[in-house]
Amino acid sequence: MNPSSSRRLSSVMIAIGMLLVFVAMMFPLYWMVVTSLKKEIEIFKVPPTLFPQVLNTDSYSAQIQHGDFNMFRSFRNSFLISLGAMLISLTLAIPASYGVGRFAFKGKRLFILSFLVTQMLPVSVILTPMFITFRDLHVLNTLLSAILADATIGIPFSVLILMSYFASIPHELTDASRIDGCNQFRAFRSVFLPIASPGVVVCLVFSFLYGWGDLAFGMTFILDQTLRPITAGIFNFLGQYGTKWSYLTAFAVVTTIPVVLVFVFMQKYIISGLTAGAVKG
């Protein structure tokens, strides 16, 4: 066999391997979508049908019409919580990372180190004290409680990502902006922020997704069903209608859609965010 044909053969084998991996890894997601579109009887069929025989969208529409578990309401709650957490994270993290990236000050190393450690912190450690504090401050049962808590994950992540962006910007730019009469704050706004904007997008995406994926904070601090995020909604639903799999998977599909959309439009940023050494809470 000559080298080029053996290379072509191995390319074909890699392609086949890739296809198998892809099918295996994506199967759970496929199964979730398919199940949400089946009738309850069909779900129990043996052998299982790989595609719904009768397309059934009741699991989705029933949620709109009536519901002590209205998934669109909890969708809205999740959206507001994630958005709020994202805004707080970015508002605080952008200046902080600029300060760390551009200035020398006492205790800077400790500051960075404590943010790194915070990223590795288990939620369990802060959950109980936070619950007690929020209870005393009467913020339990508000979207704000989850927003405040979720931002504690977005902030350190964003600071660590943006810090290196700001640090990598050459000092000539600062000097030039100073000569042009910018003060620190204007230089920050009109010179640095635009350059760091890809990093800012990474942080927007991740701090939103942290909030979106959170279960522990939302379910612990918000007991009012009408205010709970969608993840907590799924958990409730599972407890009450444990085997209504068409409803449950429909709920899960709706929760997944925004993540997939974010992925489709932001894939480049997500991979760069992950490989920048930063990671999921």
Residues 234-253 that bind another protein (CB under 8 A): 234-235, 238, 243, 245, 248-249, 251-252
123 near another protein, rule: CB under 8 A: yes
4 near another protein, rule: CB under 8 A: no
**84, two tokens:** 């709020």
**103, two tokens:** 């200035």
Asked whether 192 and 166 are in contact (CB, 8 A), the reply is yes
User: Considering only residues 2, 3, 4, 47, which one is a binding residue for another protein as defined by CB under 8 A?
Assistant: 47
- Please state the closest distance from residue 229 (CB atom) to another protein, in A: 10
Instruction: Measure the CA–CA gap between 92 and 154, rounded to whole angstroms.
Output: 10
Site for another protein in 65-94 (CB under 8 A): 88, 92-93
Stretch near another protein under the rule CB under 8 A, chosen from 59-67, 68-76, 190-198, 267-275: 267-275
Instruction: Measure the CA–CA gap between 257 and 275, rounded to whole angstroms.
Output: 24
Q: Which of 162, 159, 163, 157 is nearest to 119 (CA)?
A: 157
261 near another protein, rule: CB under 8 A: no
11 near another protein, rule: CB under 8 A: yes
127 near another protein, rule: CB under 8 A: yes
- Please state the closest distance from residue 57 (CB atom) to another protein, in A: 19
5 near another protein, rule: CB under 8 A: no
User: Considering only residues 37, 71, 81, 96, which one is a binding residue for another protein as defined by CB under 8 A?
Assistant: 96
179 near another protein, rule: CB under 8 A: no
The angle subtended at Cα 95 by Cα 92 and Cα 101, nearest 5°, is 130
105 near another protein, rule: CB under 8 A: yes
Cis peptide before 229 (omega within 30 of 0): no
16 near another protein, rule: CB under 8 A: no
CA dihedral sign, ordered 190, 195, 198, 203 = negative
182 near another protein, rule: CB under 8 A: no
Distances in Å between the alpha carbon of 232 and those of 62, 212, 258? 19, 11, 17
